[in-house]
Structure 1
Amino acid sequence: MPNSELKIKNLHEICFAIGEVKQQLVEELPHSGHHGLFLQNDCITTGLIDNKIEIKINLITGQLLYLKNEIGSFVDLKNDDILEKLKSFTFDKNIKISAEYLNKVTEQELSSYHDFAKKAVQILELFQMNLRNHFTLIHLWPHHFDFSLEWFTGNNDEQIGIGISPGDEQYSKPYLYMNPWPFEDRIIKESLPIGIWHTDGWKGIKVEWNELVQLTSKDAAEKLTELFFIARKSFH
């Protein structure tokens, strides 16, 4: 899986719209969980909303499913008027979607993101098994389109954010980030088993995606665990 730039703008914008729909259908959750989507099997999903509704995108078929009260409505993301159909599914809820238009996705867009997302979430799920006590689900955040979870010490809002970005305004290629907060500059002297210390704009550890995908998911998760224990030193 090469460390190339992912061309996923259209898919990202569709997921942002789905995130807007979800936020208006669920109550506010801790740590902005009501904003988050999930990856389950080959699908991006809202998860089950109020035991009645689920919105999900199958990354293999390129279809969006709006399932409400066991009745399914579909959008072909490669051919249909996506925004018009999405609005038609939610009109009875008075849902607001900020996009003026949602572009169709390509097979290449779906395929490249599917491969990236499956690997990213597998690594994070294996890493999550090494955590204890207070931590979040693994969310897909519609705004930056990154997968992440947070771990908390339980003291004074101390936390570590661990995530994998498909690329953003600062970096065009995928990477992993690990951000302890508050960040103590003294920990930069610690040597890292993988990745580098990052202090430009945000402070923490940055690992290029190509460093991770050269490893098995299990080995990558073990490297993340090593980084995690180093990042925790910010709190001691």
Structure 2
Amino acid sequence: MEQEKFMMQQQKITGKIDPRTLIESRLQLHYAVQVIDAIASTLAEPKPDYSHTSFGWNSELKVFVGELIPAAKSFRVALEPVSLTSLILDEQNQKIAEFSLHQKTLAEQINWYKKEIATLGADADKVVLPSYPRADFPDDKIAHGADFDANKGKSGRQELANYYAITNLLLQEIVAKEEGASSIHIWPHHFDIAILVTVGNISNGEPITVGIGMSPGDTNYNEPYWYVSPYPSPEITNLTELASGGFWHTQDWVGAVLKASNVSGEGEEKIKQIQAFLDSALQGSKSLLKV
């Protein structure tokens, strides 16, 4: 864990950017990573929980990176978020090819990928981007043929990358402590980074779980926020206190929430507040679930 602690100290949510102003940066990233899902959905080894369609954060390369795709020369697809550069990596995460998304469309991005992965022996004809806007997916001009613009929102994308990097490390710590914790996944549809912790026996045919993660912003809150969501949804008559300015969200779903705008201070101080919130919310969720 010493390496994780060292890396934590190197990550900073600057606080110089109002998290409520990151919407445009978030939307560009959200659309840019969809090709990872499109390729994995058709070419990766399928998994029952669909986690093959998810991707992760590579803390060394500072990129979003997908599952290994088997081919004559196996590969992964990735995105460097700050420069908005699509990447193809080999099994050792060495770069095979790259493509700047600046002044390029979604169609140009997917066509470049298909051309490149065909040379690696993949069945590129299977790969198709879904139509946009999809259900419960943010609409944006990129969905309608507009170019990506790497010159706009660069500092915002760096800030968002730091949110993912820090949350990835915090979730690693929880995974190391919680026996029932899943691997860490970033899910393409909602763009949230999360784990699922199984905390109890099956209830009504389903396991008792707590979802823990971070959303970069959505229709619930227009800024990054951390969430801890117990399942099945507990009664809301006896909700527990939460650390660091966290609160319980109770409309449509029940979960503890900490908005980025409620995290004060700088650097490590911010990280400690987020960690305290996650710890209190996980323990509170277990209490509500009576496990």
Cα pair 1:162 1:177 within 8 Å, conserved: yes
| 2:169 paired residue among 107, 125, 131 | 125
**CA distance in 2: counterparts of 1:117 and 1:187, whole angstroms:** 37
**TM-score normalised per structure 2:** 0.72
1:143 maps onto 2:197 in alignment: no
**CA distance in 2: counterparts of 1:55 and 1:76, whole angstroms:** 14
CA distance 1:223–1:43, shift in 2 (3 Å): same
SS at match of 1:44: strand
One-letter amino acid matched to 2:55: L
CA distance 1:119–1:59, shift in 2 (3 Å): same
CA distance 1:154–1:53, shift in 2 (3 Å): farther
Shift, 1:74, TM fit? 1.8
Cα pair 2:55 2:67 within 8 Å, conserved: yes
Partner of 1:169: 219
Percent identical: 21
**CA distance in 2: counterparts of 1:109 and 1:137, whole angstroms:** 30
Cα pair 1:63 1:74 within 8 Å, conserved: yes
Structure 1 unmatched ranges of 5 or more: none
1:196 maps onto 2:223 in alignment: no
Shift, 1:46, TM fit? 0.6
5 Å matches for 1:16-165? 16-41=34-59, 42-50=62-70, 52-67=74-89, 72-80=96-104, 81-91=108-118, 92-93=122-123, 94=125, 95-99=127-131, 101=145, 103-130=147-174, 131-156=177-202, 157-165=207-215
Cα pair 1:83 1:102 within 8 Å, conserved: no
CA distance 1:111–1:46, shift in 2 (3 Å): farther
| 2:233 paired residue among 183, 193, 207 | 183
One-letter amino acid matched to 1:96: V
Shift, 1:200, TM fit? 0.8
**CA distance in 1: counterparts of 2:100 and 2:171, whole angstroms:** 34
Cα deviation 1:5-28 (Å, max 9, x = unaligned): 321323211211221111212222
**CA distance in 1: counterparts of 2:200 and 2:75, whole angstroms:** 34
**CA distance in 2: counterparts of 1:216 and 1:71, whole angstroms:** 33
CA distance 1:186–1:12, shift in 2 (3 Å): closer
Cα pair 1:82 1:102 within 8 Å, conserved: no
**CA distance in 1: counterparts of 2:159 and 2:197, whole angstroms:** 26
Partner of 1:9: 27
1:211 maps onto 2:211 in alignment: no
**TM-score normalised per structure 1:** 0.87
Cα deviation 1:172-224 (Å, max 9, x = unaligned): 22211111001221564322223111111111111111223644324421331
Choose 141-150 or 179-188, whichever is displaced more.
Answer: 179-188
| Number of corresponding residues | 236
CA distance 1:71–1:147, shift in 2 (3 Å): closer
One-letter amino acid matched to 2:110: L
Shift, 1:234, TM fit? 2.4
